[in-house]
Amino acid sequence: MPEIRVTPLGAGQDVGRSCILVSIAGKNVMLDCGMHMGFNDDRRFPDFSYITQNGRLTDFLDCVIISHFHLDHCGALPYFSEMVGYDGPIYMTHPTQAICPILLEDYRKIAVDKKGEANFFTSQMIKDCMKKVVAVHLHQTVQVDDELEIKAYYAGHVLGAAMFQIKVGSESVVYTGDYNMTPDRHLGAAWIDKCRPNLLITESTYATTIRDSKRCRERDFLKKVHETVERGGKVLIPVFALGRAQELCILLETFWERMNLKVPIYFSTGLTEKANHYYKLFITWTNQKIRKTFVQRNMFEFKHIKAFDRAFADNPGPMVVFATPGMLHAGQSLQIFRKWAGNEKNMVIMPGYCVQGTVGHKILSGQRKLEMEGRQVLEVKMQVEYMSFSAHADAKGIMQLVGQAEPESVLLVHGEAKKMEFLKQKIEQEFRVNCYMPANGETVTLPTSPSIPVGISLGLLKQEMAQGLLPEAKKPRLLHGTLIMKDSNLRLVSSEQALKELGLAEHQLRFTCRVHLHDTRKEQETAMRVHSHLKSILKDHCVQHLPDGSVTVESILIQAAAHSEDPGTKVLLVSWTYQDEELGSYLTSLLKKGLPQAPS
């Protein structure tokens, strides 16, 4: 029995370290290759020894697909390809291919230079890894090999994020990566056609949340920022360099312009300028409005937002600072946070999801005394706000996508088990499909029953379709033919053609039955009576009385003859071929019962 098997190596009932193995029709595909922000040990990368203990991964995987450039989706890629060893193709979109190596290098620097980790992947490894990447266009059907094809769909979320359809013959799986069903200030909404996959693997970060309108959240955000700077406080907004940062920059930029504000806005990382440049060059991946007006005004050229210098953090007076990384787990955002945390006039706004174990997660869950390195305790007096700007679909959005794609079953990843449970029930109720939520290392097996494509000779098909158009064809009619199987080539042709093609002669099997009737009349009259009798019963059939005195029903021949000994008996010779077996047999038994008395 053919089946689809799915095993998450990461992101199973968890957020972070996305890595999902899919086996479909004998092909093995790895979806994403991420790192976990909550761990600093072995657990930060997926356990690739699950795929094979010895031997290169290339022999076990047909391809790897990366959905977008966030490190929890691509952070383990150089480790996977260069240190564990994989030489097959890695597919991602052009913007992902452009931005991914920069974030990997950033990640490497923090790990090696700042934390002094040994045995980490090197810059050269990132380069070598990126050489294995094949860039894909949206909606392009990429033929990985003769049977396996993949296709990318727009996912919103971040620049270049894509959902992927993986297809072999008539079986298919769709993996959403992270996606967003409502357009925001710089990206469009995810979209997929009614592709009816056997399985939809969807993220479920906001499985239980239904967010209010984006406008309200934006107004709230601006109000909070404005109030804080008005009373002379400093606002820290931890972000990742690419993605939410650009959306919030656009938001603040337009607000500052409208309100004519002078309070400085800084962006903390050297990446900004470059990051904005990527947005300009890949503007076809942004939303409709930005694309339409980019010739007149490029939304990614900011007037009010300037580069941040470390020394600015100690400047007196209000300011707004965007700093990386977004979960306050390391780097500049954490440094600034430590400086400003003690003052209740200040505010930190967390615009996205924070993984367990990060400082961001701790302060969001209400912790106000944080244990820092060296047993130092940091008291958080500044205001902590959470604004969901991270571009994940909420429960409504996830349901919407399931409705769009119409999968036969759904599998949840990239979320918390409790929340998944809730969404799973909802999906099963509403769509009446099975929904799975495997933990890491747990395999879900789905039996599939793919139909088999064959070539039917046009003659046979047209003959059948022509009959299908007749009004009598209300009963299901049967098509008869012969399937010729030669190598892997399957053709359905009429039986006559099959025999002819193979040089076989038809063997005709014919039956002739003698039916004795008591009838004193002449043979001709007997034949006439047989004719009118059959005609009255077999209304749907072609019953004919031929000039030579014989009667036919379709292709069955009935002749009346005198009995050699008994003049009061006539012999009916009923003759048919094996192909007319049912009707022939029926006629003999019908005639055996005798003919109705002719009206005299």
Partner 1 sequence: MKLYCLSGHPTLPCNVLKFKSTTIMLDCGLDMTSTLNFLPLPLVQSPRLSNLPGWSLKDGNAFLDKELKECSGHVFVDSVPEFCLPETELIDLSTVDVILISNYHCMMALPYITEHTGFTGTVYATEPTLQIGRLLMEELVNFIERVPKAQSASLWKNKDIQRLLPSPLKDAVEVSTWRRCYTMQEVNSALSKIQLVGYSQKIELFGAVQVTPLSSGYALGSSNWIIQSHYEKVSYVSGSSLLTTHPQPMDQASLKNSDVLILTGLTQIPTANPDGMVGEFCSNLALTVRNGGNVLVPCYPSGVIYDLLECLYQYIDSAGLSNVPFYFISPVANSSLEFSQIFAEWLCHNKQSKVYLPEPPFPHAELIQTNKLKHYPSIHGDFSNDFRQPCVVFTGHPSLRFGDVVHFMELWGKSSLNTVIFTEPDFSYLEALAPYQPLAMKCIYCPIDTRLNFIQVSKLLKEVQPLHVVCPEQYTQPPPAQSHRMDLLIDCQPPAMSYRRAEVLALPFKRRYEKIEIMPELADSLVPLEIKPGISLAAVSAVLHTKDNKHVLQPPPRPAQSTSGKKRKRASDDVPDCKVLKPLLSGSIPVEQFVQTLEKHGFSDVKVEDTAKGHIVLLQEAETLIQIEEDSTHIICDNDETLRVRLRDLVLKFLQKF
Residue 456 in contact with partner 1, rule: CB under 8 A: yes
Q: Which of residues 124-143 bind partner 1 (CB under 8 A)?
A: 135, 137-142
In the complex, the smallest distance separating the C-beta of residue 119 from partner 1, rounded to whole angstroms, is 28
**151 secondary structure, DSSP code:** E
Residue 484 in contact with partner 1, rule: CB under 8 A: yes
The residues with which 149 forms a beta bridge, in sequence order, are: 143, 167
Q: Which of residues 23-52 bind partner 1 (CB under 8 A)?
A: none
In the complex, the smallest distance separating the C-beta of residue 126 from partner 1, rounded to whole angstroms, is 13
331: left (phi over 0), alpha (psi -120 to 50) or beta: left
Nearer to partner 1, 83 or 583 (CB): 583
Instruction: Note if 203 is an active site residue.
Output: yes
Could you say which of 49, 170, 520, 544 contacts partner 1 (CB under 8 A)? 170
Pair of tokens at residue 113: 């230079």
Q: In terms of Cα–Cα distance, which of 259, 304, 276, 261 is closest to 186?
A: 276
Q: In terms of Cα–Cα distance, which of 183, 191, 182 is closest to 287?
A: 183
Residue 583 in contact with partner 1, rule: CB under 8 A: yes
Q: Which of 3, 105, 149, 203 is catalytic?
A: 203
Residue 499 in contact with partner 1, rule: CB under 8 A: yes
Q: Which residues contact 349 (CB under 8 A, 6 or more apart)?
A: 221, 224, 225, 235, 236, 237, 385, 386, 387
Helical residues (DSSP H) of 164-320, grouped into ranges = 214-230, 244-259, 271-281, 288-293
Q: Which of residues 517-576 bind partner 1 (CB under 8 A)?
A: 537-541, 554
**140 secondary structure, DSSP code:** -
In the complex, the smallest distance separating the C-beta of residue 99 from partner 1, rounded to whole angstroms, is 9
Nearer to partner 1, 281 or 439 (CB): 281
x/- letters, 411..450, toward partner 1 (CB under 8 A): --------------------------------------xx
Pair of tokens at residue 257: 């312009």
Say how many residues touch partner 1, by CB under 8 A: 85
Cβ 362 vs Cβ 386: under 8 Å: no
Residue 597 CA to residue 587 CA, distance in Å, equals 18
In the complex, the smallest distance separating the C-beta of residue 239 from partner 1, rounded to whole angstroms, is 19
Nearer to partner 1, 537 or 562 (CB): 537
In the complex, the smallest distance separating the C-beta of residue 132 from partner 1, rounded to whole angstroms, is 15
Could you say which of 56, 289, 480, 518 contacts partner 1 (CB under 8 A)? 480
In the complex, the smallest distance separating the C-beta of residue 289 from partner 1, rounded to whole angstroms, is 15
Residue 377 in contact with partner 1, rule: CB under 8 A: no
Q: Which of residues 178-207 bind partner 1 (CB under 8 A)?
A: none
Q: Which of residues 288-307 bind partner 1 (CB under 8 A)?
A: 294-295
Nearer to partner 1, 281 or 372 (CB): 281
Residue 10 CA to residue 31 CA, distance in Å, equals 10
Helix (H, G, I), strand (E, B) or coil at 321: strand
Q: Which of residues 229-288 bind partner 1 (CB under 8 A)?
A: 274, 277-278, 280-284
Helix (H, G, I), strand (E, B) or coil at 155: coil
Residue with tokens 């799915």: 6
Residue 496 in contact with partner 1, rule: CB under 8 A: yes
Nearer to partner 1, 456 or 528 (CB): 456
Could you say which of 504, 567, 597, 599 contacts partner 1 (CB under 8 A)? 504
Residue 129, judged by CB atoms within 10 A of its CB (0-12, 13-18, 19+), counts as buried
Q: Diameter of the chain by CA atoms?
A: 132
Q: In terms of Cα–Cα distance, which of 20, 22, 24, 16 is closest to 8?
A: 20
- Which residues are catalytically annotated? 203
